[in-house]
């Protein structure tokens, strides 16, 4: 049984470094005890090194919410994958819908995925349709996003890739607006099929496919069990140590 992967995306929160440290410390207490979950938190860059210190060595990984696609140079305001890696970061979210909304194109995302993997980071590539339709147009959209983002990646790096399927219509909503486990299962199978067709069944089967979009304590289990997701990418609830820790325990206990 593969370990479940639970990743917290703090987005542009919290307001102070002391709050950030309290959240990390609260989550760490639970994460340390759970052998069947891999846990990573992605705070804003400004809290990155404090989060790393608070996490300490071991079970709780710290990552970032975005990276630039070059490793060094004259790029004001950017942070390279190599800098993240050298500073002790292990995960990088790439292609989140909130960055795509700010203008990030598929071709920039492809460069970022490649740069992150080449620098030795585990890249969490976010994909997801805006809307659903009855004719499967959303499936073609997912296919294009996935293949576009991986177009510059060499096969040898794929073992450090994670896909986060995050339907845009389900992000930042209520638990009732999240995807159903049945529809999620279909998407996990579809994403695996696209990856298998491109890279072979062995690779297709082993790339973790996570779900993100309005995950809460009361619906986390169904995404991991019936939905067959390999883990979860969690926004709001990752800022709440008690709730996030409960989700970690659920992931630790789930049998799939
Ligand atoms: C996200 O933005 O990646 C996300 C899943 O957010 P939330 O859990 O708050 O819906």
Give, for all 256 residues of the chain, the pLDDT tens digit. 799 999 999 999 999 999 999 999 999 999 999 999 999 999 999 999 999 999 998 889 999 999 999 999 999 999 999 999 999 999 999 999 999 999 999 999 999 999 999 999 999 999 999 999 999 999 999 999 999 999 999 999 999 999 999 999 999 999 999 999 999 999 999 999 999 999 999 999 999 999 999 999 999 999 999 999 999 999 999 999 999 999 999 999 998 8
Distance 39 CA to ligand 1 centre (A): 16
231 vs 250: CA distance, rounded Å: 11
Ligand 1 is surrounded, with C-beta below 6 A, by 9, 166, 171-172, 212-215, 233-236
At residue 156, the pLDDT reads: 95
At residue 67, the pLDDT reads: 98
Coil, strand, or helix at residue 19? helix
| Closest by CA position to 42, among listed 16, 7, 76 | 7
By CB atoms closer than 10 A (0-12, 13-18, 19+), residue 120 is middle
CA-closest residue to ligand 1 atom 3: 235
**For residue 11, which atom of ligand 1 is closest to its CA?**
2
Residues in the chain: 256
Question: What does the radius of gyration of the chain's CA atoms come to, in whole angstroms?
Answer: 17
At residue 140, the pLDDT reads: 98
Catalytic center residues: 96, 166
CA-closest residue to ligand 1 atom 8: 235
**For residue 238, which atom of ligand 1 is closest to its CA?**
8
E runs forming strands in 194-246: 209-212, 231-234
At residue 57, the pLDDT reads: 87
**For residue 96, which atom of ligand 1 is closest to its CA?**
3
Distance 201 CA to ligand 1 centre (A): 30
At residue 82, the pLDDT reads: 98
DSSP secondary structure, 48-59, as one string: HHHHHHHH-SSS
54 vs 62: CA distance, rounded Å: 10
254 vs 36: CA distance, rounded Å: 9
Rounded to a whole number of angstroms, the distance between the first and last alpha carbons of the chain is: 7
At residue 244, the pLDDT reads: 98
202 vs 1: CA distance, rounded Å: 16
Other beta carbons less than 10 A from residue 78's beta carbon: 13
């Amino acid at each position: 049984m593969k370990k479940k992967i639970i990743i917290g995306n703090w987005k542009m929160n919290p307001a102070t470094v002391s709050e950030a440290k309290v959240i990390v410390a609260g989550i760490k207490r639970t994460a340390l005890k759970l052998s069947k979950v891999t846990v990573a938190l992605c705070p804003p860059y400004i809290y990155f090194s404090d989060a790393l210190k608070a996490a300490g060595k071991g079970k709780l990984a710290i990552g970032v919410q975005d990276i630039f696609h070059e490793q060094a140079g004259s790029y004001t305001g950017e942070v390279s994958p190599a800098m993240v890696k050298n500073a002790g970061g292990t995960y990088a979210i790439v292609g989140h819908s909130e960055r795509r909304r700010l203008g990030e194109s598929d071709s920039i995302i492809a460069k970022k995925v490649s740069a992150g993997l080449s620098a030795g980071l585990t890249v969490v590539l976010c994909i997801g349709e805006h809307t659903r339709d009855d004719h499967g147009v959303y499936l073609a959209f997912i296919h294009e996003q996935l293949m576009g983002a991986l177009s510059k990646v060499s096969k040898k790096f794929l073992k450090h890739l994670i896909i986060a399927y995050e339907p845009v219509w389900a992000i930042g909503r209520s638990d009732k607006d999240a995807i159903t486990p049945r529809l999620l299962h279909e998407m996990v199978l579809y994403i695996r099929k696209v990856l298998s067709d491109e890279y072979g069944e062995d690779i297709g089967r082993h790339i973790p496919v996570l779900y993100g979009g309005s995950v809460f304590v009361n619906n986390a289990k169904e995404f991991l069990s019936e939905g067959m997701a390999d883990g979860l990418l969690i926004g709001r609830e990752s800022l709440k140590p008690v709730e996030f820790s409960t989700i970690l325990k659920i992931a630790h206990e789930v049998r799939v």
